[in-house]
Amino acid sequence: MNLIKNPQLLDHLASAYALGTLRGGARRRFEALARVQAPVRTAALVWQTRLASMNELQTQSVPSPAVWTRIDNMLQGEKEAATLRAQRSAGLQAAAGETHLGEWLRSLLVWRGAAAVGALATVVAVVTGLNLRAELGGEVQALQAKLLTTPQIQYVAVLADGQAAASVLVTFDANSKKLTLQRVGSYQEAGDKSLQLWALPPAGGPRSLGVLGQDKLLRLTAGEGDIREVPTLAISLEPKGGVPSAGGPTGPVLFSGALIQKML
């Protein structure tokens, strides 16, 4: 059916469509055509607009005053609900992070929402105060945690070779009892050899502190007693895997240096 070539039929169908008396299959076919053909759609819209004026031509009548009261009550109810929601979300934001405090604040805020605006100011002040205290408390805790995890470097040694070229940097953290060795030179032992770290106390023989691996960074565990009062650290070249502590170094000492206690 080519409606566009038959403007009279198009106008007839469009007016019946807009009036609502075009029903069933005929209505569905008209709607399908309107979706693909703009002139059909336009004719339908023109008639919908024209007939919509029917709404404006009805005889006036005065409704009971109760109608406005009902509308007003509904809007007031909506307004109060919205205010309550806003206060609730503000309370949630203020108390974010502190679950128990948050729940307490929320219930307080909801309860206060029903009360006067003056009371609200008090709540805001209380929330701000509590929030500030919670924030400060949190900060102190965080700092304490940070202090505990931050290595406290108490001893430092730079072990150098005969030409005073730095090769290994040694630090000792008394908190975690960790010796950290960092190779800073280019020295690389042969595959069948290992480097071994020794403490050279003023009295008694050298004490082995551990054997270095191939990594640039090595961590060894040592008691503070092993390190304190030791003026010098040394590294010797030993057979693969190192030698027992009791016998002392068996190979040449490659690097050595003074152990310095850092003042805090």
Partner 1 sequence: MTTEAHDLELIDLLDRVAEQEHVALKALYDLCAGKLFGLAVRVVGNREWAEDVLQESFISIWRSAGDYRASLSPPMAWLGLIVRSRGLDFLRRRTTSRSHVTQELDDGMAETLEGNSPCPMDTVQASEQALALHQCLGRLENRQREVVSLAYIRDLSHSELSLQLKLPLGTVKTWIRRGLDQLRQCMSHFA
Which C-beta is closer to partner 1: that of 3 or that of 222? 3
Q: Give the one residue of 70, 133, 240, 262 binding partner 1; rule: CB under 8 A.
A: 70
9 lies in the binding site for partner 1 (CB under 8 A): no
For 45, half-sphere exposure in the C-beta direction (CA atoms, 13 angstrom radius) is 8
CB of 119 to partner 1, least distance (A): 24
CA 206 vs. chain centroid, Å, equals 51
- CA diameter of the chain: 121
Contacts of 65 (CB under 8 A, 6+ apart): none
What does the block give as tokens for 70?
């009902």
Going by C-alpha positions, the residue among 187, 261, 250 that lies closest to residue 224 is: 261
CB of 107 to partner 1, least distance (A): 29
114 lies in the binding site for partner 1 (CB under 8 A): no
20 lies in the binding site for partner 1 (CB under 8 A): yes
Site string for partner 1, 116-135 (x = CB under 8 A): --------------------
Contacts of 20 (CB under 8 A, 6+ apart): none
> Do the Cβ atoms of 196 and 242 come closer than 8 Å?
yes
60 lies in the binding site for partner 1 (CB under 8 A): yes
25 lies in the binding site for partner 1 (CB under 8 A): no
CB of 41 to partner 1, least distance (A): 15
Restricting to residues 207-236, name those near partner 1 by CB under 8 A.
none
28 lies in the binding site for partner 1 (CB under 8 A): no
| Concatenated DSSP letters of 110-144 | HHHHTS-HHHHHHHHHHHHHHHHHHHHHHHHHHHH
Which C-beta is closer to partner 1: that of 38 or that of 148? 38
Beta strands 166-173 and 178-183, pairing class: antiparallel
Q: Give the one residue of 1, 9, 23, 121 binding partner 1; rule: CB under 8 A.
A: 23
For 242, half-sphere exposure in the C-beta direction (CA atoms, 13 angstrom radius) is 17
36 lies in the binding site for partner 1 (CB under 8 A): no
Whole-angstrom CA distances from 145 to 11, 149, 179 are 82, 6, 22
Q: Give the one residue of 2, 36, 58, 252 binding partner 1; rule: CB under 8 A.
A: 58
Q: What type of residue sits at position 124?
A: V
Q: Give the one residue of 26, 71, 96, 217 binding partner 1; rule: CB under 8 A.
A: 71
- Count of residues that bind partner 1 according to CB under 8 A: 33
Q: What type of residue sits at position 66?
A: A
Q: Give the one residue of 2, 25, 36, 63 binding partner 1; rule: CB under 8 A.
A: 63
CB of 24 to partner 1, least distance (A): 9
Q: Which residues bind partner 1 (CB under 8 A)?
A: 11-12, 15-16, 19-21, 23, 46, 49-64, 66-68, 70-72, 74-75
